[in-house]
């Protein structure tokens, strides 16, 4: 029996594939490599390059590899980009998921795990936010993920599929052995920007808003290490295999850190004192976003190993240094070649 990981060459998907392969599970990947990298896939794991909306491709992979579970990461994930290109987001996140579900139903796939996001909540009334909170996305990104959640729910009800929706909070860090990490060009996430500053690739980091009514005036987020996040997916697979009913889980640590705290953590672990500049608030930013994690912890034995901001920062930094070194070696080869 095999797990199909869509988007398995991307940031989170590649960590998932490594974890499954290490655990001795059969795994197969579909990825169109729009933001992923084929060299992130370990030897022995089949990679099919194509879109999850390509029903013939997906059906062929499911049949050839005896797929019985799907973990669906493939999609677009940049909030500001979704504001500029809403139709692209509805295509990649909503319509593509609809096609994938169509094939999953046709092939009687019993288990489906879906990557969703805390962005489905919009600006919650209460913090930490519980899964039952109203869903009021502020961006096409959040809306497109919510649409996929709704489709999954309806399909599961009609066709007897079981699912777990994982709503991610701020995913950060990298594989502790630095085999994979966030490599997508133009990433805008805070920790990525901070480690780029710490490694001298940026002159400074802008802090978007220092006048929020929070303890230090900056926004607060619940950062979850990518390796812990993928273990939550493994726990979800086990939960469904044991007959657990369809459900939705927040996936964070339930603790918030401010933008300034993140920057300080990166300064400490790197030993480098890069420039920090106060800037205007970024439109659409939510002030505080922290997960209420009681539901996941009551359903499965998920034991995060890297629930520590400095550890997350250190792993992000080690990965960034590796990327930088590889890039310099590549440039050296071009210069001398």
Which residues bind to ligand UDP, rule: CB under 6 A? 170, 188-190, 193, 205-208, 219, 221, 259, 282, 285
C-beta of 159 vs 282, nearer to ligand UDP? 282
Q: How many CA atoms, within 13 angstroms, populate the side-chain half-sphere of residue 239? A: 27
Task: Report the residue number whose CB is nearest to ligand UDP.
Answer: 219
β-strands 220-221, 257-258 pairing: antiparallel
C-beta of 189 vs 233, nearer to ligand UDP? 189
Choose the catalytic residue: 11, 89, 121, 141.
Answer: 141
CB of 235 to ligand UDP, least distance (A): 23
Please confirm, yes or no, whether 90 is among the known catalytic residues: no
Residue 156 φ then ψ, to 5°:
-60, -40
Which of 49, 314, 329 has its CA nearest to residue 181? 314
CB of 77 to ligand UDP, least distance (A): 9
Rounded CA-CA distance 278/262 in Å is 15
CB of 188 to ligand UDP, least distance (A): 5
Which of 196, 252, 249, 195 has its CA nearest to residue 223? 252
C-beta of 13 vs 69, nearer to ligand UDP? 13
C-beta of 93 vs 170, nearer to ligand UDP? 170
CB of 113 to ligand UDP, least distance (A): 21
Concatenate the DSSP letters of all residues of 118-129 into one string: GGGG-S-SSSSB
Rounded CA-CA distance 93/318 in Å is 31
Rounded CA-CA distance 222/258 in Å is 9
Residues annotated as catalytic (active site), given as ranges: 141
């Amino acid at each position: 029996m095999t797990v199909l990981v869509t988007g398995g060459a991307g940031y989170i998907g590649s960590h998932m594939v490594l974890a499954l392969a290490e655990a001795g599970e059969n795994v197969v990947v579909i990825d169109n490599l729009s933001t992923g990298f084929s060299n992130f896939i370990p030897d022995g794991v089949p990679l099919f390059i194509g879109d999850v909306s390509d029903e013939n491709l997906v059906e062929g992979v499911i049949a050839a590899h005896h797929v019985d579970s799907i973990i669906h990461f493939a999609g677009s994930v940049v909030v500001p980009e979704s504001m500029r290109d809403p139709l692209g987001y509805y295509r990649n996140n909503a319509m593509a998921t609809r096609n994938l579900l169509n094939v999953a139903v046709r092939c009687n796939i019993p288990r489906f795990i879906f990557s969703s996001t805390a962005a489905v909540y919009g600006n919650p009334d209460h913090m930490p936010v519980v899964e039952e909170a109203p869903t009021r996305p502020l961006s096409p990104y959040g809306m497109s993920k919510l649409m996929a959640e709704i489709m999954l729910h309806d399909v599961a009800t009609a066709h007897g599929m079981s699912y777990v929706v994982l709503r991610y909070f701020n995913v950060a860090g990298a594989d502790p052995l630095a085999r994979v990490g966030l490599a997508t060009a133009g990433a805008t996430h805070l920790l990525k920007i901070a480690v780029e500053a710490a490694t001298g690739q940026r002159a400074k980091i802008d802090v978007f808003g220092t006048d929020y009514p929070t303890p230090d005036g900056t926004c607060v987020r619940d950062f979850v290490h990518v390796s812990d996040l993928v273990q939550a997916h493994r726990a979800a697979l086990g939960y469904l295999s044991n007959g657990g009913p369809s459900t939705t889980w927040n996936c964070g640590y339930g603790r918030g850190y401010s933008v300034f705290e993140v920057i300080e953590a990166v300064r400490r672990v790197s030993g480098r004192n890069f420039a920090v500049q106060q800037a205007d608030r970024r439109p659409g930013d939510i002030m505080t976003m922290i997960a209420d994690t009681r539901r996941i912890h009551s359903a499965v034995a998920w034991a995060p190993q890297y629930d520590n901001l400095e550890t997350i920062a250190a792993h992000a930094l080690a990965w960034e240094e590796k990327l930088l070194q590889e890039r310099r070696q590549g440039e050296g080869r071009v210069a001398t070649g």
